[in-house]
Structure 1
Amino acid sequence: MQKPLVSIVTPCFNQADYLRETVESVMKSSYRPIEMIIVNDGSTDNSLEIAQELAREFKEIRVIDQPNSGVSVARNHGITKAEGEIILPLDGDDLISPNYIEEAVNILSKRPEVKVVFCDAVKFDEEGQKKWKLKSFSLSKLAKDNMIFSAALFWKKDAVAVGGFSEDMVMGREDWEFWIKMLKNGGEVVKLSFIGFFYRLTLMSKRKKTRTSKNKRARIDYLNKKHGDFFERELSGPLRFQRTWSKPYNKILRFLGKL
């Protein structure tokens, strides 16, 4: 039986210092066949030149160059051009273990009810690393927060069916919304029990952890407008600013006749 082609889609914006390490982690993968699509998202450093150099070095790499349009546009562009049946988004500064793709594909190929496979992970920088404490998956938990990082594996057809990553979600956490729309109407999720993903902490990623209340409110408004049916089912009403209190608060309001 022919093994499915896996397309690793790598958006890259000013990650010249890390891109080669990311690519080399993919090329060390125990799984074949693979292709790696590097989408240069209007970088102002020499990311494009490094990507083109890597494409000459590794036959599995293709490079797409686009004006700066944001990570969702870059991911969607790569997914559209991908020839693989299975997609792995991997940002241009992160790393994977050699066995991650193989173990994930094994699950996806044998269990058609599974839509998404991810793994344990660590966060790292020049000072060291620490395990990423990820919550176990359930739809009720997904309604309140995301526990699946963007570098999970899924079938391309499922991504296309939900319209890919939402390009108008410019206030952050676009991967959370992507998983909601892919999984809210069915499909299982498997987390592999080994560390297969290494998330690099940079100045850019650290800034993401301090998003403003304004962005958070805009994000919650966006999610409620787009997935109100999902939150009604899982939280008995809309997602609230204090996300963990959404369901009890909604139940109280419903009891008082205010919802």
Structure 2
Amino acid sequence: MTVTSEAAGESPYSVVAIIALYNGAEFIERSIRTVLSQTRKPDEFIVVDDGSTDGGAAIVERLAEEHSSIRLLKKENGGQSSARNFAVAHSTSRLIALLDQDDGWYPNHIEELIKPFEAGDRFKLGWVYSDLDECDRFGRVRNRCMLQMLPQEHPKTQLARCLSEDMFILPSASLIAREAFEDVGRFDERLSGYEDDDLFIRLFYAGWDNVFLPKSLSYWCIYTGSTSYSPRMARSRMIYFEKLYNDFDNSDMPLMPQWKTIIAQRFYMTVFGELQRAAMLRDRALYDRSVADLQHIIPFLPQGMQRRARIRLRALRSFERSQFLERIGVFRIMRAGWRMVLRLR
């Protein structure tokens, strides 16, 4: 008689580890080795080369010769969402473990995240995620248990809060049920930034439950050159803003906080923060993009706020002159800007 892994006491849940690679030669060996060092090995391990030109794929090929568990797939560049979807489509495991090319897992990452799935006491468990450590580009720790330092809600229980703030569910810190992932239509390939928030809010809205583990099982490298600060992220943010605004409407419930208002205010504040950062860095390209994005968002604000927002934006346009920036000083600009934000709120 053949004994199945479940009957033998092993987990019935298989796991695929996925890394999307795009010009990440500097990081890819480090991230791959954190997968190889797992105490609970993934059943599949896929790296997708999304059209890299920096030699990163050659590093993966070398490591694959040493470790037969690594499978390298190649495709034309289509962005991280496309690469992740491509990898999932070429896998069969029940659970999906994503890892960004510049991040890493601690050895017990999979072992701990899989436990709530194996417990089987949650109806429609869609994903499990953990806290994480914030590191620099070299993996040196800046902050332990970063999520517990932030005001976001964990685990996610309120849609209004999911709409009003960034989700702060990092794919590198998550384990996602394939059934849930397929149910909501995978990653939106138009997004190359905010695709994570978009996926998890759709999972939540579709009724999939989530579990949060308040301990760091991975690390997130954040630095000036990371995708969090790229022009592609800024473009994706505006696509995501319009998608949220169009998809979420509770105007038939007038006594509740209105989702469209919450969404417009959230993105107004986010882009205003980018404007502050552009002023501090004296980054003209970022400044111009932030101004354009604010002009796009303002018409979505409640009528009573639009006029005040336009007045304040016209005032901020005076900051475009570099000699004015030199004369008044960056910190006075930031202070004046935050006063405007507080008045607007």
Q: Same fold (TM over 0.5)?
A: yes
What is the one-letter code of the residue matched to 1:117? V
Post-superposition shift, 1:194? 1.4
Q: Which amino acid aligns with 1:98?
A: P
- Looking at structure 1, the residues matched to 75 and 232 of structure 2 have their Cα atoms a distance apart, in angstroms, of 28
5+ long unaligned stretches in structure 2: 1-5, 270-300, 306-345
Give the strand-richer structure, 1 or 2. Answer: 1
TM-score by length of 1: 0.85
One-letter identity of the residue aligned with 2:14: L
Counterpart of 1:257 in structure 2 is: none
Say yes or no: does 1:62 pair with 2:71.
Answer: yes
Alignment of 1:85 with 2:126, yes or no, is: no
Per the alignment, residue 156 of structure 1 pairs with 178
Map of 1:241 onto structure 2: 264
Q: How far apart, in 1, do the equivalents of 2:63 and 2:171 lie?
A: 23
Whole-Å separation in 2 of the counterparts to 1:211 and 1:109: 36
Within the candidate set 181, 186, 189, 2:202 is matched to 181
1:221 & 1:244 partners in 2: Cα distance?
Answer: 10
Distance change (3 Å), C-alpha of 1:109 and 1:193: same
Instruction: Work out the CA distance in 1 between the residues paired with 2:178 and 2:40.
Output: 18
1:228 aligns with 2:228: no
- Structure 1 contact 143–235 (Cα < 8 Å) conserved: no
SS at match of 1:242: helix
CA deviation vs aligned residue, 1:151-186 (integer Å, no higher than 9, x gap): 21011121112111001234x201101011112121
Specify the SS of the correspondent of 1:219.
helix
How far does residue 128 in structure 1 lie from its aligned partner after superposition? 4.0
1:164 and 1:194 mapped to 2: Cα distance? 27
Alignment of 1:21-36 (within 5 A): 21-36=30-45
2:180–2:208 Cα contact (<8 Å) kept: no
Of 110, 129, 143, 1:130 maps to 143
Contact 1:29 1:101 in 2 (8 A): yes
Gap change, CA 1:110 and 1:208, over 3 Å in 2: farther
Aligned AA (2:74) = D
- Give the aligned length: 247
SS of equivalent residue, structure 2 residue 187: coil
Q: Distance in 2 between matches of 1:158 and 1:218?
A: 23
Residues in 2 aligned to 1:195 and 1:244: alpha-carbon distance in whole angstroms: 29
Q: Distance in 1 between matches of 2:168 and 2:251?
A: 17
**Does 1:47 pair with 2:56?**
yes
Match of 2:162 in 1: 142
Structure ranking higher on relative contact order (CA contacts 8 Å, 6+ apart) = 1
Amino acid corresponding to residue 207 of structure 1 in structure 2: Y
The code of the aligned residue for 1:143 comes to L
Measure how far apart 1:224 and its partner are: 2.0
Structure 1 residues 85-109: Cα deviation after superposition (integer angstroms, max 9, x where no partner)? 1001111111011111111111112
What percentage of residue pairs aligned between the two structures are identical? Answer: 23
Q: Does 1:20 align with 2:29?
A: yes
Q: Which residue of 1 aligns with 2:272?
A: none
Given that 2:28 and 2:56 are in contact with CA atoms closer than 8 Å, whether structure 1 keeps it comes out as yes
- The answer to whether the Cα contact below 8 Å between 2:163 and 2:259 also exists between their aligned partners in 1 is no
C-alpha separation in 2, matches of 1:7 and 1:189: 19
User: How much does 1:223 deviate?
Assistant: 1.8
Number of the residue aligned with 1:198 = 219
Distance 1:232-1:120 versus aligned 2 partners, 3 A rule: farther
Whole-Å separation in 2 of the counterparts to 1:206 and 1:217: 14
Q: Which amino acid aligns with 1:76?
A: N
Cα contact 2:163–2:263 (8 A) shared by 1: no
> Which amino acid in 1 is paired with 2:229?
R
